[in-house]
A and B are shown apart, each in its own frame.
Chain A
């Protein structure tokens, strides 16, 4: 039996979890992305079929998720660089909220252009 742990329910920890999930997610996505791009070299017809499939609204929604993850990882990475290379600022929760807001807005802009 292990005693319960309840120390993870605060914004800086959520920011860490989001950064880790988005980082792992993008690391999985990028090889697939390059694999599909590589089809352009000698499998153009197959690439076209794949691109037609990506017009599916559900795929667009999934792409919006990807954009949100990318934006969240970008914003979170900039925040961490600021923490590690600039003088400490106490408004970390504000920066985390700004990063989260930036990610959601980026996803919404993608959706505006997608449909």
Chain B
């Protein structure tokens, strides 16, 4: 690659009924997709809307669709995804587009609430610290799901969400699974009940696109499969 190499970058402009606009961006070593978008906004079109915060893969703000695939743009190198010097950058799928590369993530987070994604304490601050065996099966299962950064990539990759906008989606279900496995939680049956309905875990078709694209290498499909088992067990025992 020489300093003169130029990327041809198609970037989504406008809202839901927008279209692509082509920009030419100089290619650099170790350049990320977020670098490309930032270059366009700083040098070519200051009106370009996009979202980012930490730039180091922690905050989950900068996810976009790159060449048709959802990715965390701050940790995606251009050299890995550009094809013949070309890039297509669009907003995340399955969420309303506000403008350009910015989506409205309200429905995504609303589903975390519907899946009862918040911890229900079983003790107060005056009780002694809970002692959880780190090697227990439940703690291990919870461990595998807790590194989620809420970036929405799994949700954008999921065709079931695209087909049924009520479907809770991989991230919210993965969160519910961590709580179902948290022995300190006071309402584990409540978490199961919240995800057992029509648009809950049983709607998953095991496409595994969520697990394929999760930038943190989590496996929401496995979490959802776990919820399917636990909800069936609870229903058979009459506890749902």
Contacts and interface: CB of A to CB of B under 8 A. Distances in A.
Partners in one complex: yes
Interface of A: 1, 3-8, 10, 12-13, 16, 80, 83-85, 88, 90, 92
Contacts of A7: 68-70, 157, 159, 209, 212-213
Contacts of A8: 159, 207, 209
A92 B67 contact: no
A12 B206 CA distance: 7
Contact of A3 (B68, B212, B221, B222): B68
B154 to A, nearest CB: 10
Interface string B65-103: 101111000000000000000001011010000000000
A94 B101 CA distance: 37
Q: Which secondary structure characterizes the binding site on chain B?
A: mixed
Interface stretch (B14-22, B35-43, B47-55): B14-22
A102 B208 CA distance: 22
A88 B207 contact: no
Give the 3 A-B residue pairs with the shortest CB-CB distance, closest first.
Answer: A6-B68, A3-B90, A12-B208
Q: Which secondary structure characterizes the binding site on chain A?
A: loop
Given A7-B212, A13-B159, A90-B219, 13 more contacts: A3-B68, A3-B90, A4-B68, A6-B69, A7-B209, A8-B209, A12-B221, A13-B207, A13-B209, A83-B206, A84-B225, A84-B228, A85-B229
A92 B212 CA distance: 12
B14 to A, nearest CB: 9
B208 A10 contact: yes
Contacts of A13: 159, 207-209
Given A3-B88, A4-B68, A4-B88, A10 B225 contact: no
B229 A10 contact: no
Nearest to B66: A6
